[in-house]
Structure 1
Amino acid sequence: MGTKLIVYVLFFDIFLALMAGAYSGLSAPSIPATPSYTSAVNLASSIVWSAGIPSITLVPSFSILGTTVPSITIPSITFFSISFSWLAPVIYVFDWIIWTFVTIASVMGYLLSIFTGSVSLLASVPVVGPFLTAFTLIINFILIWELVKLIRGYGP
């Protein structure tokens, strides 16, 4: 019964928002593009650690009587360089986890904006607005309670 009630209350909120005209200021949820393995490979291959000595100029170039004497420079020496391209599968998995949470948050924010838009429009109705608002809030508190029961596993 809990999941049916959740669906019914969500339908109630959506129809209420449609009837109240709460969709006028809403935009669709911004769902990001799905992660790709090539972007994970590009990110992982851009992480490189290098250790070495930079080039050192012992004597800078100078000019004597119109002739320029070149500088004496020790070239740079690289001892080792580590590429983290092997992290691409791990980064790809984390990209999917982040994408999932961002998508869920975007959709939940969209549903919340539908609910708040319809409640604020209902509250501005002169005579029956407070009663309709109270009814809507009670119905939605029941929705939240059923969601908590569904997640925590209370009852059948």
Structure 2
Amino acid sequence: METSLYCPGYLAITSDTGSKVALLKQHLDAEEVFSNHSSSMKLESMRSCGVGFHDWIARGCPFGPLEITSGPSAIQEVSVVLVEQLDLKSLMRIRGELGLHAGVSQLKNLPLPATLATMSYISAVKTLAELDVNALVIQDSKTGKKLPRNVNSWRTD
């Protein structure tokens, strides 16, 4: 398998001895497991298995039920956008979770809507689920189109 040629920056960690391959990003802190079809190994066709590496192993290394099968690509770059003013406590949580360097007062005075961060789609979904703040939305970085923040709205089990 020529993973480095077709999915640079990723390491194939196993396959289902059929058509699916599990991949992990080649970073020391990489946690999320992705799957791809072995005959089309492209970054655009990668889908998140929806769990971190250790959880994925504990669940028996599934390629099926947790695999995202439709909707935006898990690795698509998106923007996390603040669309409503929030109280200082909420802004402090957002600042910490997103690793923002701006002060809370700077965040409070941003003209809205304000792009706070860019990241992969699946990371944005997980981050927004953790924060549970309705004033944040996920937008396609290229088109500005609002994307679902709930994986269940486009995942199939």
Q: Which has the larger radius of gyration?
A: 1
More strand, by proportion: 2
| RCO comparison, higher one (Cα < 8 Å, 6+) | 1
The TM-score normalised by the length of structure 2 is 0.19
More helix, by proportion: 1
The TM-score normalised by the length of structure 1 is 0.19
